[in-house]
Structure 1
């Protein structure tokens, strides 16, 4: 009697498995990525001393007493007057000390009024309570910029009117004389008679496209000539544009 596990295949195990396990153990160390870092412990000799963390100024390389200061001025100032010296009197100068020192000039207080019982003060200059603008020289006069604008508008209007007048004169109409009207009317009637003669010469039966087109063209021309003849016969006075 054979067991059931005798026919099973043995599980595959790589021959490099021991080498891989050994290599993994060589690089693996405890507390490698977790826990406190491995730092050098402080020496007991370097203990914290008093005032050791107080910031200090950098030490000077040389004492200030040994350094001699040099002055950049080449001229010496006059000596300070003594206590028993008398000042010079009667010296005049053109220098205006008030303009040079405007801060020292006492300023005149702005006029104001108190409008409440609690002491509220209002400056009178821009309050409208005192006459400010009516005392000006140009009060009630048209400002200069408005005068310039009105003058520019007037010049533009005159230029436009002159342009329109020139255009009207260029396109003016002239009266047609009776001789010209009769001559034009005579030519129109002659042209109508000629077209009417051609229209009468058409055949009675029109069955082609060209004949229909010819008939329509003659009818349109005759209708236009009839309107023109009626216009010239109806109106005795006719105006026409001037020739350029």
Structure 2
């Protein structure tokens, strides 16, 4: 509904009509009850509210005096001392328990272990090497022999590929390395002292690295009397 000024006028309250009262089809009293629909069998009558349980009508057990059962674990506890009974005071002893225990321990006869009919030293196979240890040792020896043969084969193959340089060849290589170092040093001396550009610094570092490598090569070859070199493929086939 669109908004209008007439909506401000209070409207009378509309009371809806009440629906007709519900009436069961069994309202004539002909209700059929099931056998156990009222807390029990159908022939059992419900207890009347007037027959409630009264104080004088309870079926209580006969009152008997409580007694402890001595047959239980622990039995009856000892009675509490009376006020006339006094504890014994002033009981002392002159016995030195430390000395007594030491003397008893010194003169005590050691107990013998129980004797056994079975002795492990008499069992079959006593003192022999177990079979699994022998098996492991044989496997280790077989693996060691296999690796030794493989190492010898590799060593022989490497010896075939390698060649021992003669003394003349070794001295010739040393002389060539020294000449190379002298050439690098001569070129290194031509570098200016002012390293104002990155190119000059890189050139100086490159010469220093090359000279250090040549010095290490000279020291390595000169310090060994025998030098092995790998032969080329063509020389091995010949």
Per the TM superposition, whether the score is higher than 0.5 is: no
TM-score range, shorter chain: 0.3 to 0.5
Identify, as 1 or 2, the structure richer in helix: 2
